[in-house]
Amino acid sequence: MNLECAAFRRELQHSLENHAERSGAPLRDLLWHRHLHGCLDCRELLSAEEALEALLSSLPNPKLPPGLAQRVLARLSRPAGAQAELDALLELDRPESARPGLAGRVLAHLAEERALARRNPQPVRDLDVLLELARPVEIPVGLAERVKNRTRASTGTRGVLLRWRWMAAAALLALLLGVYAYYPRNPQPSPMVAMQDQPDPALLENLLLLEEWELLQGGDLEVLLSTLPAEDEYLLDLGAEGATEQGGQPKKG
Amino acid sequence: MEQSFDDDEGVRWMLAWKAGDEAAFDRLVERYSPQVYALLTRFLGPRDNREDLVQEVFLRLLRNRDRYEPSARFSTFLYRIVFNLAVNHTQRVIQRAEGSLHGRHGDEDGEQLAELADDRASAPFESLEQDDVVRAVRSAIASLPENQRMALILAKYEELPYAEIAGVLGSSEKAVKSLIHRARETLRERLAPFLKEELA
């Protein structure tokens, strides 16, 4: 597409936009004749637009029903006498502070209702038309946004969380308290320290067996006991028993 | 700077009516009801109840009498009412038709379905079989989205300038240009068989 094509298409667009200004002469007969002769694309485009215009123009004008305006006016009009009476009544009744145009609005409303009753005798239709005619409601500023936010909050994961937030908070608190209660405050003693606090039961059992079998006698038992921690009450008692059995007094190692 | 519409007889009559001249309303109905009827028929298709809709348009005008301020040409103001009413009517027809498809099948629903078929027919090839160019063109226009349809009708048949169409649709002139361009593209596609005949 060259510059001439672009210019031609602009001209064509302009021509389509300005029906009223069109002279009636087809575009191909104007100054673009030479360009169109040499440019197949533009020629086809012009032909397509002209064909579409012809098709659109082939639609017949809507047939106007005779006496349309008179019928519309008759339906909308009010009996002259009744209107005058109502005007007079409204005029008498109107306080000084009343908004201007009140009488006009009341009359218009009455005319609407009369027209509705005349046009729509069926109750279902009456309702539909009344709904259709319902005066516009003043919508609060930002209502749509608020409704959207609430809907989002009540339907999504966030909504579920928000709805159960107190339950979730209580459960979390209980969990934290549980963890705190069961968490060991003093560290576990190392195996070596445990050995010192309480003698190995297997070792004690062996010692008792040895004693029973009288393999350990007198000084040997004392020597063995002296190797154990002196502060161990249990072992001291054991040593005392051994010494007693042999007829001696318990000794502190 | 406030634009003046002194040369617009519709505006003059409307202001006169607002000031209490009841005869001015008669003049408005007489002058503009044929245009309203034609626009409704082109937008919604030819049906018997179009006259009711014309009356509805003027009822809305009646309701807006005291609030009227001449901020645009009268035709722009009037066509905007027509457009809103026609869109509402289409939505109502669709809702009723959908409702009747889910159970109810009264005479009125049958009429509504027929209207829906007329208004939203989107199969130009059926019309091709009937060899009815007018019907095919009507169907193709009816299948356009509402704002494209109204923009095209106002430009092509009412010969309104784009600025005024923008006022009717409540959009910009650039948007109107784009709407009409897309509408014409769609029509070229849907009416391709007829365009070939036209070109042959």
The DSSP-derived string for B148-195 is HHHHHHHHHTS---HHHHHHHHTS-HHHHHHHHHHHHHHHHHHTHHHH
The reply to whether A238 falls in a domain is yes
Q: How many folded domains does chain A comprise? A: 4
Place of tokens 């659109």: A56
The reply to whether A213 falls in a domain is yes
Question: Which sign, positive or negative, has the C-alpha torsion B133, B139, B140, B141?
Answer: positive
In CATH, the architecture of B1-120 is: Orthogonal Bundle (1.10)
CA distance B84 to chain A (A): 11
B188·A48 Cβ contact <8 A: yes
Residues of chain B with CATH 1.10.10.10: 122-200
Amino acid identity at B52: D
Residues of chain B with CATH 1.10.1740.10: 1-120
User: Which of A16, A55, A68 has the CB atom closest to B34's CB atom?
Assistant: A68
Count CA atoms closer than 13 A to A149's CA, side-chain side: 6
User: Which of B55, B155, B187 has the CB atom closest to A76's CB atom?
Assistant: B55
CA gap B134, B127 in Å, rounded:
9
Count CA atoms closer than 13 A to A56's CA, side-chain side: 24
The reply to whether A82 falls in a domain is yes
CA gap A224, A180 in Å, rounded:
46
The reply to whether A139 falls in a domain is no
Q: Which two tokens stand for residue B91?
A: 């939505």
User: Which of B55, B65, B177 has the CB atom closest to A72's CB atom?
Assistant: B55
The reply to whether A166 falls in a domain is yes
How far is C-alpha A81 from the geometric centre of its chain's CA atoms?
Answer: 60
pLDDT value, residue B165? 95
Q: Which two tokens stand for residue A173?
A: 């608190």
pLDDT value, residue A229? 63
The ranges of chain B with pLDDT < 70 are 1-2, 48, 100-131, 198-200
Substitution target in B49, B62, B95 with the highest count of A β-carbons within 10 Å is B62
For the stretch A88-123, pLDDT in tens is 555 544 444 445 565 566 666 767 777 776 666 555
- Helices A40-57 and B192-199: crossing angle, nearest 10°? 110
Amino acid identity at A230: A
Place of tokens 């070596």: A192
Quick one: A50 and A80 in the same domain? no
Give A 34-53 residues with CB within 8 A of chain B.
47-49, 51-52
CA gap A133, B56 in Å, rounded:
9
CB of B53 closer than 8 Å to CB of B86: yes
pLDDT value, residue A91? 52
CB-count burial class (<10 Å; 0-12, 13-18, 19+) for A88: exposed
Substitution target in B84, B109, B195 with the highest count of A β-carbons within 10 Å is B195
Residue A225 dihedral angles phi and psi, to the nearest 5°: -65, -30
How many secondary structure helices (H) and strands (E) does chain A include?
14, 0
The ranges of chain A with pLDDT < 70 are 1, 18-31, 78-108, 110, 117-140, 148, 150-163, 184-199, 211-253
A112·B184 Cβ contact <8 A: no
pLDDT value, residue A111? 72
Above 0.90 for ipTM, yes or no? no
Residue A215 dihedral angles phi and psi, to the nearest 5°: -80, -25
The reply to whether A141 falls in a domain is no
Rounded to 10 degrees, what is the CA torsion of B149, B151, B154, B157? Answer: -50
Amino acid identity at B191: L
Domain extent, residue A14, equals 3-18+27-55
CA gap A178, B183 in Å, rounded:
70
| Chain A residues within an 8 Å CB radius of B59 | 76, 112, 115, 133
Fold entry, domain B122-200: Arc Repressor Mutant, subunit A (1.10.10)
CB of A250 closer than 8 Å to CB of A243: yes
Q: How many Å from the N-terminal Cα to the C-terminal Cα in chain A?
A: 116
B26·A73 Cβ contact <8 A: yes
CA gap B146, B43 in Å, rounded:
8
pLDDT value, residue A13? 80
A108·B63 Cβ contact <8 A: yes
Of B72, B87, B159, B75, which is closest to residue B119 (Cα–Cα)?
A: B87
| Chain B residues within an 8 Å CB radius of A56 | 137, 156, 187
CA distance A132 to chain B (A): 8
The reply to whether A128 falls in a domain is yes
A65·B134 Cβ contact <8 A: no
CA gap A82, A243 in Å, rounded:
137
Of B81, B61, B45, which is closest to residue B153 (Cα–Cα)?
A: B45
